[in-house]
Amino acid sequence: MLIQKIIFPALLFVLAYGLNAQQKDIKLPPEATEVWEPQPRIVTSGKTMNTPPSDAIVLFDGKNTDAWSKLNGDAIEWTIEGDALVVKPGSGDIMTRRKFSDFQLHIEFRTPAVVDGEGQGRGNSGVFLQRRYEVQVLDNYENKTYSNGQAGSLYKQTPPLVNASRQPGTWQTYDIIYTAPVFNKDGLKTRSAYVTVLHNGVIVQHHTEIKGTTEYIGWPKNIAHGPDGIQLQDHGNLTAFKNIWIREM
Ligand code: MG
């Protein structure tokens, strides 16, 4: 009798209350999980995917080479042809005068239409992030080379996920998202740099850990450094660049 009249209903009540409490959580108003402040800053996108957004720092738009210097600080010798900046073989790498840490970089490149050479000898150049970490530029259209030296590779470290190369003589794009490494006061690396690369809009590096400096021979090194420039490689080929812009993060 006691069980039927008091304990059983009490148990039912407790069970029902518990269920109801769970349902209350589920029935939160949608506004409860909306985040309104702060709002992301408005940036006007370019007219096409390739033109710089409103807050970009334009590094080259065909007008002048003011943003660039030789590695010793002198004016560069690479030539402007139309809206393109063309490597002058033998004149050396160039770098931005401005230094960067974390950024989004857009750069377009064109390897020579007339193919001569093979492997690493075809349209070779490179985009060095913070002047140390090379995203390889190469004519890899029907041109076999080591996978971790291909266009879109993190040179000698990580091959691209796919080969998104266009034919030689046609313009191609890199969109590079980069976060700089962190070093402690003793000069030890406490966080690696990471890079994401889209080649012609196709992801080829997905949050790839950068193990250290790009070395042609030997292993990556990790020597403490601060913000540094974007460096473009003179590898002896007439590779051209255009429409270069960067957004600091
Ligand atoms: Mg290179």
Domain 57-248 bears CATH identifier 2.60.120.560 = yes
Both tokens of 222, joined, read 């990790």
* CA 141 to centroid of ligand 1, rounded, Å: 15
How far apart are the C-alpha atoms of 216 and 29, rounded to whole Å? 58
pLDDT at 97: 98
* CA 116 to centroid of ligand 1, rounded, Å: 16
Confidence of residue 7 (pLDDT cuts 50, 70, 90): low
Confidence of residue 1 (pLDDT cuts 50, 70, 90): very low
Residue 242 pLDDT exceeds 70: yes
Return the SS3 of 31.
helix
Confidence of residue 41 (pLDDT cuts 50, 70, 90): confident
Q: What's the average model confidence in pLDDT over 187-202?
A: 96
* CA 137 to centroid of ligand 1, rounded, Å: 6
Residue 234 pLDDT exceeds 90: yes
Greatest Cα pair distance in the chain: 102
Both tokens of 36, joined, read 């309104």
Residue 153: CB atoms within 10 Å = 26
CB 134 within 8 A of CB 126: yes
CB 159 within 8 A of CB 147: yes
Helices (H) then strands (E): counts for the chain = 2, 15
Of the candidate ranges 41-50, 64-73, 176-185, 209-218, the one whose mean pLDDT is the lowest? 41-50
* CA 126 to centroid of ligand 1, rounded, Å: 4
Residue 18 pLDDT exceeds 60: no
Confidence of residue 40 (pLDDT cuts 50, 70, 90): low
Backbone dihedral angles phi then psi of residue 108, each to the nearest 5 degrees: -115, 145
pLDDT at 80: 98
Percent of the chain clearing pLDDT 70 (strictly above): 86
* CA 17 to centroid of ligand 1, rounded, Å: 68
Q: Domain limits of the chain? A: 2-33, 57-248
pLDDT at 35: 79
Q: Which helix (H) or strand (E) holds 8?
A: helix 8-26
Backbone dihedral angles phi then psi of residue 100, each to the nearest 5 degrees: -135, 160
Q: Read off the pLDDT of residues 69-99 as tens digits, 9 standing for 90 and up.
A: 999 999 999 999 999 999 999 999 999 999 9
* CA 150 to centroid of ligand 1, rounded, Å: 9
Confidence of residue 32 (pLDDT cuts 50, 70, 90): confident
In this structure, what DSSP letter does residue 165 have? P
Q: What's the average model confidence in pLDDT over 5-22?
A: 50
Angstrom distances, CA of residue 239 to CA of 121, 151, 157:
11, 13, 23
Residue 33: CB atoms within 10 Å = 7
Q: What is the average pLDDT value for the chain, to the nearest integer?
A: 89
List, in order, residues 6 or more apart from 162 with CB less than 8 Å away: 202, 204
* CA 154 to centroid of ligand 1, rounded, Å: 10
Residues around ion ligand 1, judged by CB within 5 A, are 124, 126, 233
* CA 26 to centroid of ligand 1, rounded, Å: 55
With tokens 């069980």, the residue in question is 3
pLDDT at 6: 55
For the entire predicted model, the pTM comes to 0.84
Distance of CA 214 to the CA centre of its chain: 16
* CA 10 to centroid of ligand 1, rounded, Å: 77
How far apart are the C-alpha atoms of 111 and 76, rounded to whole Å? 20
Residue 155 pLDDT exceeds 90: yes
Angstrom distances, CA of residue 247 to CA of 21, 66, 98, 124, 206:
48, 18, 12, 25, 19
Q: Read off the pLDDT of residues 94-126 as tens digits, 9 standing for 90 and up.
A: 999 999 999 999 999 999 999 988 899 999 999
How far apart are the C-alpha atoms of 49 and 53, rounded to whole Å? 9
pLDDT at 246: 98
Residue 196: CB atoms within 10 Å = 16
